[in-house]
A and B are shown apart, each in its own frame.
Chain A
Amino acid sequence: GENVEQHPSTLSVQEGDSAVIKCTYSDSASNYFPWYKQELGKGPQLIIDIRSNVGEKKDQRIAVTLNKTAKHFSLHITETQPEDSAVYFCAASNNAGNMLTFGGGTRLMVKP
C-alpha cells in the first residue's frame, strides 16, 4: 500500500518568513495530493491540492509543487503570519474520492 513520509515534524519560523514542508510517497499510482491544516480541537481543513497532471499550483501565499519522477511534493507558505500556526498534513491517493494516506504531520509555529 501507499506510504507517505513528511518532514520536518516541527518547524518554527519568524513572522514574515517562508515555510516549506516536504513529503514523499511510495505508490506510483497516486495522482492526487492534498494538504490539510488542523488547528487545535478541530478537524483537518483542505488548504490546497494538486493532481498529477500539473507540477505546481499556487493560491495567494500558499503553493504546492509536485515531482512525480522523484515521488515527492512540497508545501510552500510565504509571508507567514501567526494565524498560520497549526499542524499541517500532506496526503496521497489514487483518486480524490478514494482513501487518503496521510503523512505524520508538521507542527508549524510562527513567532510574532
Chain B
Amino acid sequence: ETGVTQSPTHLIKTRGQQVTLRCSSQSGHNTVSWYQQALGQGPQFIFQYYREEENGRGNFPPRFSGLQFPNYSSELNVNALELDDSALYLCASSLGGRGGTGELFFGEGSRLTVL
C-alpha cells in the first residue's frame, strides 16, 4: 500500500461527455503527477501539480486539465471524451516538484472506458 488513493476505480462514459478523477496523495507529499496508461502500454505523463500550480505537462491536449487543492489532493478533468481516452489513469505522489529527488508512489488507478 502506497497511501495514494484514487476514485472512482472504474467508470464508463460515452463519447463527448466529461469526467473528473480524484487522487489523495500520500501524507507529507506536496506533488501529484498524472499518467495515462493505455492497455498493454507503459504509462504516459499527462501533467504534474506542485503547490497547487501546474508544474510540467506532457503531450496532451488542453481538454485534459487538473487542479491541486491546499491539502495536496488533486483532480484530473477530461472534457469532450474520445474513444482513445479509454485507459487506466494513474496518480502518483512525491515530494518537491520537478526538483524533488524522491520516488513516485502510484495509486491503483481509475479505469475509464469510453463508449
- Point out residues on A near B: beta carbons under 8 Å: 1, 4, 6, 34, 36, 41-46, 49, 89, 91, 95-105
Contacts and interface: CB of A to CB of B under 8 A. Distances in A.
B108 A43 contact: yes
Given A43-B90, A43-B106, A43-B109, A95 B42 contact: no
A101 B31 contact: no
Interface in B1-51: 2, 4, 31, 33, 40-45, 48
Given A45-B2, A96-B101, A97-B96, A104 B108 contact: no
Given A44-B43, A45-B2, A104-B42, A97 B97 contact: yes
Contacts of B106: 36, 43-45
Interface residues of B, number: 32
Interface of B: 2, 4, 31, 33, 40-45, 48, 56, 58-59, 90, 92, 94-109
Contacts of B99: 95, 97
A105 B40 contact: yes
A42 B56 contact: no
Given A46-B104, A96-B94, 10 more contacts: A4-B42, A43-B2, A43-B90, A44-B90, A97-B96, A97-B102, A98-B48, A99-B56, A102-B43, A102-B44
Q: Which 3 A-B pairs have the closest CB atoms?
A: A97-B100, A102-B42, A43-B106
B101 A89 contact: no
Given A103-B42, A105-B42, A98 B56 contact: yes
Contacts, number: 69
A102 B58 CA distance: 13
A97 B93 CA distance: 10
Contacts of A4: 42
Contact of A99 (B42, B58, B107): B58
A41 B108 contact: yes
Contacts of A42: 108
A36 B21 CA distance: 23
